[in-house]
Amino acid sequence: MALFAETVHEAKVLELGSGRLDWGPDAYSMRSVFDSSNEFIQSDVVPEYGHLVVDATTMDFDCEFDVILCSNVLEHVRDFDTAVERIHRALKPGGRAVINVPFLFPYHDEPHDFWRFTEHALVRMLADFSAVDVKHRGYRRLPFTLFVVATKRSDSPDAAPSARGTSAASMKCW
C-alpha cells in the first residue's frame, strides 16, 4: 500500500473499513501512509468506531472519489458484487479502487468472515474497470493475500461533457 500511496497527491480518498479506535485513530487505517495533500475520509459500518458510517453495499456516492481503499473488507461483505458496483459508481472517471483481500488467512471477525477470493474471481468481479492489476503476497498459486488496483475508465460519458457536446447535467456517472 505504501508504494501505491506515494503516487497519490491532492486526491479525495475514501477508506472503507477504517476499523476500531481502541489502539489509536490509525491503528487499522491506511491514512498514515498517504501524504497530507490528500483529503482522506475514514469510514466504517460500525458507528461505535467513530468514523463516517458507510456501508459499501448501500453507499450513494456518484463520481466523488479519486481513490477508494477497501482493505480487508470484501471478505466480510455478503453481497460483494453490489459493493464493487457501488465502489465503481463512487469513483471519478480514471479513479482507482485499491482492494486487499486475504486468501490463506485464518478466520477472523467470526461469524462475519464469509469469503476468500482467487485472482480469477477478483478479475471477474472488477470487469467493469478498464484495468485490473493483481499482485500476490506469497506464491501466486498459494497467496497469503491479494492486492488489486482497479482503474475506472476515464472515457466514460461523464469524463468530458464539453468534448462530447453534451451538458454535464444530462450525463450519469457509471
C-alpha to C-alpha distance for 40 and 44, rounded to whole angstroms: 13
* Long-range contacts (CB closer than 8 Å, 24 or more residues apart) made by 128-136: 128/85, 128/88, 129/88, 129/97, 129/153, 130/154
- C-alpha cell belonging to residue 105: 488467512
Q: Is 9 left (phi over 0), alpha (psi -120 to 50) or beta?
A: beta
Q: What is the pLDDT of residue 174?
A: 55
Q: What is the pLDDT of residue 173?
A: 54
CB atoms near residue 89 (< 10 Å): 18
Q: What is the pLDDT of residue 31?
A: 95
Q: What is the pLDDT of residue 172?
A: 53
CB 114 within 8 A of CB 161: no
Q: What is the pLDDT of residue 157?
A: 55
The series of mean pLDDT values per 10 residues for the chain, 174 residues long, is 94 96 88 96 94 97 98 97 98 98 95 96 98 96 97 70 35 50
Q: Which domains does the chain have, with CATH numbers?
A: 2-170 (3.40.50.150)
